Structure 1
Amino acid sequence: MSKSIDASTFFIYLYKCKAGGCESLHKILDVSLNACDELVGKGMIVAHVLPLEGFEELKFINLEGCGSLVYMPNVSCIPNLEKLNLRSCKNLERVHDSVANHCKLWKLNLEDCSKLQRFPDIPNKNESLRKVHLGWTSIEELPASIGNLVSLEEMYLFNCKKLAILPSSIYKLQNLVVLRLNGCSQLIKFPKEEEEEEDEDLSEPHTKTRFPMLCTLSLEGCHLSEVEFLENLSCPNLFRLLLSGNNFTNIPTLERLNDLEELEVSNCQQLQEIPKIPGKMRRLEANNCKSLTRIPSNIRYLEDVELYSSRELVCNGFPMNDLFMPE
């Protein structure tokens, strides 16, 4: 039985190739599929490196669950590639450096690639990548050059159990809308805003506004011992801040987060006080905050408040009934 495909004389007009579940297929030979714009090989047992020369019009590659793939293919030979899905490629160890300079690749999914330890450097500004999925990988840190992903809108790093360092250059991601770091249990500190560099062009917009587009910031279960970075954080569009399951004792003022609507701090066992909340807040979840003794009086205007098992509020005679009485 043949364990390879020789497409040198076939598929002249093929625009979609699906080879999922081909457990004995180890190699694709002499592929010249100029019209093909989608390659699907979910669960395919492929060689350690998959050659992709000849797919000049390919726009989407889906190799999810390819257990034998060790090295990500070089995508520089696929100039029209827009989406690359390598999710759950359990033996993938390396992301090819070609993703850093690809002009059309906008979505890269490396979620659940449990052996992946490093994301490549981005030496020059990349204006194409908008979504990067790195959850459930073994990445230990992001490169300082991550700030060169100037068009990045969504970054998912949830449950990266070895991630311990975030570079301050992350604040250069001016188009970031969603940042999810929940479950990164080794991340004990979120970086503060970097100091302005001497050669930074102060005439550029957003030089004083970090994360101007950010809407959702998730830092649940990160064991953060402090969240001082919030004090000077300028996120005019942030409406959802998720901080549950951390070790900080206090939250700095949130009044600069004018559009904040949801705040979650449940299971923050050391949290003692919640400061005055912004006027647009609609929801506060602070369940099982055993050390919480003070909450702001303006929570009476919220639509949804959860304070289950916040024992110290009751033990200290906090007038909960009076708090929610109409004025």
Structure 2
Amino acid sequence: MAYSLHNLKTLDLGHSHSLQKSPDFSQVQNLEELILLDCSSPFEIHPSIGHLQRLSLESLSYCVKLISLPRDFYKSKSVETLLLNRCSEFIELHEDIGEMISLRTLEAEYTAIRQVPPSIGHLKRLSLVNLEWCDKLISLPRDFYKLKSVETLRLNGCLQFRELHEDIGAIREVPPSILGLKNLTHLSHHRISVELKGEYKYLRWKGCPLKSIPDDFFNQPRLVVLEMQESKLVQVWFQGTKLLHNLKTLDLSHSHSLHKSPDFSQVPNLEELILEWCMSLSEIHPFIGHLKRLSLVNLSYCFKLISLPRDFYKSKSVETLLLNRCSEFTELHEDIGEMISLRTLEADHTDIREVPPSIVRLKNLTRLSLSGVESIHLPHSLRGLNSLRELNLSSCYLADDAIPKDLGSLISLQVLDLSWNDFHTLPSLSGLSMLQTLSLDCCFNLHTIPDIPPNVKVISFPLS
């Protein structure tokens, strides 16, 4: 005798470990939710599931013996959520999945899926795809990247994934269209991630193999952070009219093939520029001086960089400039005195010959580090640097006449490092009432220190 549960909407048989096959769904024609979570025995799904016109949720996670779904299931026009997480023997999504026009969520982490059918590109409502730890998955079909609806893509642990994972050495192609998924708000993978925080998007792609960023990447109003560390970029993007209007942080550090910076006119609201360890970088685009919100510029370890464009020194917004280990960098321009917001200047182990006298106009400068800049010429006077708290002139091999006579005028100085220098005497330090740490290591020619301020807590000074 056949029975009908005509009004049944939810059927939950979760954790039924002895269940060997699902019911005949023709008896529950109005079913909306089917939950078979953790039915761990070998079992099969009745083909009539494909004829349920109202089914919206199918939860089969942890059905560890489930190998496949009946082909008729993929004809469903109503299913919105399909959960297959931890179905460790599940091997196939059928080509007909493209007919599941209502599908919004597909989760199949820790399954044995090898490939995703090209027809997935027909799922215009698909917003979340979770394929984490599908360790047999090699790629996604090209049509997938054309979907405008996808917001979340999770690929962590897909160790054989050839389109995005560089370490296996088997990359066949990195589709530029991955950068064109402008509605993507969450993607997680070993090398690439997209995250939405509030209204803003963060994109991080470590080891990006692209030589340049394609045009269809632009006009993403929500993108605020772009990190492409260890990239293969040679030219970041080609000059054009398209903008990343709200981009605030651009981090291309360790991009060893990068020869010149991008045209900054395409990122007019940039606040942080990080290009450290771009060892081939030799040219900074002059528009950098017109970025009204730029506050951090990190160019450390750019070994080929000789100078900065003169327009850069017109900046009224830059607070931190890092040039450490730019071993061929030779010049700070006289216009540096116009950088009225500058608080930190670090240029350790550069080839700078002279610090321009205009530096004393930097009323907000709190840290100046020139360690290892041998025989540098300092201004005769430092009077005016009233906010300076840290001054590092170690390993500059400075002689007696190279130390400014009014060193004691730095009324806010707290840390002074003069280690590894050649002077015999120092000017009076009595005016340094805020000084706490004085380092004079390996100043072998120095035998006395006049007027040590009373608040100094640490003195490093070998007497022999």
Structure 2 length as normaliser, TM-score? 0.56
User: What's the CA shift for 1:117?
Assistant: 1.1
Structure 2 residue aligned with 1:130, among 242, 245, 248?
248
- 1:42-191 aligned at under 5 Å gives the runs 42=156, 44-46=161-163, 47-50=172-175, 51-52=177-178, 57-65=183-191, 82-89=201-208, 91-113=209-231, 115-124=232-241, 126-137=244-255, 138-143=257-262, 145-191=263-309
Structure 1 residue aligned with 2:338, among 234, 255, 268?
234
Report SS of the residue matched to 2:420: coil
Superposed CA RMSD: 3.5
Q: If you compute each CA radius of gyration, which structure gives the higher value, 1 or 2? A: 2
Aligned match of 2:32: none
- 1:272-283 aligned at under 5 Å gives the runs 272-273=377-378, 275-276=381-382, 278-283=385-390
Answer yes or no: is the 8 Å Cα contact 1:63–1:85 preserved in 2: no
CA distance in 2, matches of 1:323, 1:88: 54
Aligned match of 1:297: 408
User: What's the CA shift for 1:313?
Assistant: 5.2
Aligned match of 2:418: 307
Structure 1 residue aligned with 2:369, among 264, 268, 273?
264
**Please, which runs of 5 or more residues in structure 2 have no aligned partner?**
1-90, 92-112, 164-171, 193-198, 426-442, 456-464
Answer yes or no: is the 8 Å Cα contact 2:180–2:216 preserved in 1: no
Q: 1:56 to 1:280 in 2, by over 3 A?
A: closer
**Please, which runs of 5 or more residues in structure 1 have no aligned partner?**
67-79, 195-208
User: What's the CA shift for 1:36?
Assistant: 4.3
CA distance in 2, matches of 1:188, 1:227: 7
CA distance in 2, matches of 1:313, 1:257: 30
Deviations 1:42-82 (A, max 9, x none): 5642151334599564224455537xxxxxxxxxxxxx983
CA distance in 2, matches of 1:101, 1:34: 14
Report SS of the residue matched to 1:228: coil
Q: 1:248 to 1:23 in 2, by over 3 A?
A: farther
User: What's the CA shift for 1:154?
Assistant: 0.7
Q: How many residues align?
A: 297
Q: 1:55 to 1:149 in 2, by over 3 A?
A: closer
User: What's the CA shift for 1:127?
Assistant: 1.7
Deviations 1:293-320 (A, max 9, x none): 3133324641111111122355898797
Identity %: 18
Aligned match of 2:395: 288
Answer yes or no: is the 8 Å Cα contact 1:189–1:226 preserved in 2: yes
Letter in 2 for 1:140: H
Structure scoring higher RCO (CA < 8 A, sep ≥ 6) equals 1
Report SS of the residue matched to 1:322: coil
CA distance in 2, matches of 1:118, 1:227: 25
Answer yes or no: is the 8 Å Cα contact 1:62–1:86 preserved in 2: no
Q: 1:279 to 1:20 in 2, by over 3 A?
A: farther
Structure 2 residue aligned with 1:321, among 449, 453, 456?
449
Aligned match of 1:251: 355
Stretch moving more, 222-231 or 12-21: 12-21
Letter in 1 for 2:449: N
